């Protein structure tokens, strides 16, 4: 099969941001590869596969589950544009809820996009919604009972991270969730990482949320990251809270399920005026005041928590998780010829890692 695989859905929905894969890309698929009924729908998102010459571990990285949490999508994009793998397979879905990138949350006044410096110019990225676009899935039920029988508020029917394990014949969101579950099973994924952000006032923040079978892996990773200067906490996946990736992935497949959270001021309820600058620089006077009043779960000063720091945290966490997976299970090793440096990102920003449209590796 060729490196890229397209469908008619590519021309129907323009919510896919520009991504310029590295020379290490082995194959590009669509999620309809795992559920054909997603073809020609706004759920037919891209799947990037990096495969080494040697067999090893199989890992899935999921960005864009919630498109208003940009660190996950940007971290996945940086990996796609820079990775070269020698051993094992790495699957990356940068925009898991592709429909969510086509709209904003109503009444929030969020910007539609933001820019980051690339190697020679600017790259623009969409700032979407936590939920599937109601144009693509409507109406919301009064009460949503998800495929795991959890009762939730009606709009949560459009929340990908409440829809697992999904349904082959269900709503658009449930079908996306079902297809991701099929990927986990079909490709024998050993480790799956769901990238998220949360508001600074949210208690599960700067955290590794882990399924109980991944407890040892999470603990080893926490110690590694603390030595690298990234403070974080461990959060066990609640066994009775169903529909979330870190619960259903671990319960219903053989994968070790991990969810990562960083602190995003633009995502919070205490923020001031929304803007692209708030997304990228992460500076907000309201959060500085809230920190002084002891209302936050992370430190927050005038420097804020910029996007580059949040993305660097995700990259460092991913690399440590994959390294420790190999330490625990040598047959599941992934070896990199090149992995984008979190330290270099912190020092120099995004320009060393984002390509421009006319460039190729």
**Do the domain assignments include residue 360?**
no
The per-residue pLDDT for 2 is: 35
- The model's confidence at residue 8, banded by pLDDT at 50, 70 and 90, is very low
- Percentage of residues in the chain having pLDDT higher than 70: 94
* Phi then psi dihedrals of residue 15, to 5 deg: -90, 0
What is the dihedral sign for C-alpha 313, 208, 177, 333?
positive
| Pairing state between β 84-93 and 46-51 | antiparallel
**Is residue 353 pLDDT above 70, yes or no?**
yes
> What tokens were used for 342?
């979190």
Is 359 inside a domain boundary?
A: no
Residue 119 CB coordination number (10 Å): 13
Maximum Cα interatomic distance, the chain, rounded to a whole number of Å:
57
Residue with tokens 């904003």: 104
Q: Could you give the CA distance from residue 133 to residue 296 in angstroms, rounded to a whole number?
A: 31
Nearest of 46, 31, 45, 48 to residue 89 by alpha carbon:
48
List pLDDT tens digits, range 257-268: 999 999 999 989
Q: Tell me the β-bridge partners of 27.
A: 49
The residue written with tokens 């700032």 in the block is 127
User: Which residues sit opposite 60 in a β-bridge?
Assistant: 91, 192
Distance from chain centroid for Cα 21? 17
Res. 16 pLDDT band, cuts 50 70 90: confident
pLDDT confidence tier of residue 57, bands split at 50, 70 and 90: very high
pLDDT reported for residue 106: 86
Q: What is the CATH number of the domain that holds 113?
A: 3.40.630.10
Give the C-alpha distances (Å, rounded to integers) separating 158 from 36, 70, 138, 169: 20, 18, 9, 15
- Length of the chain, in residues: 361
For residue 271, being part of any structural domain is answered with yes
Pairing verdict, β 233-236 and 207-210: parallel
Residue 56, number of CB atoms within 10 A of its CB: 22
Q: Can you give the pLDDT at residue 273?
A: 95
308 within a domain of the structure (yes/no): yes
Tell me whether the omega of the peptide bond preceding residue 165 falls within 30 degrees of 0, making it cis: yes
Q: Does 331 reside within a domain?
A: yes
How far, in whole angstroms, is CA 167 from its chain's centroid?
A: 21
The region of weakest confidence among 14-28, 184-198, 251-265 is 14-28
Residue 42 in any domain: the answer is yes
Q: What average pLDDT does the segment 306-320 reach?
A: 99
In a domain, 361, yes or no: no
How many domains in the chain? 1
Q: 162: closest CA among 171, 173, 172, 170?
A: 173
* Alpha carbons 157 and 168: distance in angstroms, whole number: 15
Section 50-62 average pLDDT: 99
Question: Which domain covers residue 92, as residue numbers?
Answer: 9-352
- Dihedral sign of CA atoms 287, 288, 292, 293 in order: negative
With H, G, I as helix, E, B as strand and everything else as coil, classify residue 26. strand
Q: What are phi and psi of 287, to 5 degrees?
A: -75, -30
């Amino acid at each position: 099969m060729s490196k890229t695989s397209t469908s008619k859905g590519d021309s129907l929905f323009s919510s896919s941001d520009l991504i310029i894969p590295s020379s290490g890309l082995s194959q590009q698929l669509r999620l309809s590869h795992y559920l054909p009924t997603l073809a020609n729908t706004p759920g037919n998102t891209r799947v990037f596969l990096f495969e080494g010459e040697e067999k090893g571990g199989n890992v899935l990285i999921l960005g864009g589950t919630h498109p208003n949490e940009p660190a996950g999508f940007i971290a996945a994009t940086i990996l796609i544009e820079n990775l070269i793998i020698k051993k094992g397979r790495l699957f990356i879905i940068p925009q898991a809820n592709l429909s969510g990138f086509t709209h904003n949350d109503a009444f929030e006044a969020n910007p539609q996009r933001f820019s980051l410096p690339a190697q020679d110019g600017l790259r623009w990225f969409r700032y979407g919604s936590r939920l599937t676009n109601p144009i693509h899935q409507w109406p919301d039920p009064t009460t949503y009972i998800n495929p795991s029988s959890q009762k939730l508020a009606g709009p949560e029917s459009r929340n990908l991270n409440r829809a697992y394990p999904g349904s082959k014949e269900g709503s658009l969101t449930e079908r996306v969730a079902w297809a991701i579950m099929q990927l986990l099973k079909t490709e024998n994924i050993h480790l799956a990482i769901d990238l998220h952000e949360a508001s600074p006032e949210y208690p599960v923040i700067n955290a590794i949320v882990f399924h109980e079978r991944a407890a040892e892996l999470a603990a080893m990773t926490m110690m590694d990251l603390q030595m690298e200067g990234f403070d974080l906490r461990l959060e066990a996946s609640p066994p009775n809270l169903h529909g979330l990736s870190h619960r259903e992935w671990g319960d219903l497949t053989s994968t070790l399920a991990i969810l990562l959270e960083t602190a995003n001021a633009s995502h919070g309820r205490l923020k001031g005026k929304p803007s692209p600058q708030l997304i990228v620089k992460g500076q907000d006077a309201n959060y500085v005041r809230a920190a002084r009043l002891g209302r936050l779960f992370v430190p927050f000063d005038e420097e804020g928590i910029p996007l580059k720091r949040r993305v660097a945290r995700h990259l460092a966490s991913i690399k440590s998780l994959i390294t420790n997976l190999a330490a625990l299970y040598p047959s599941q090793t992934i070896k990199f010829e090149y992995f984008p440096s979190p330290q270099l990102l912190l020092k120099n920003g995004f320009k060393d890692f984002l390509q421009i449209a006319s460039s190729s590796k």
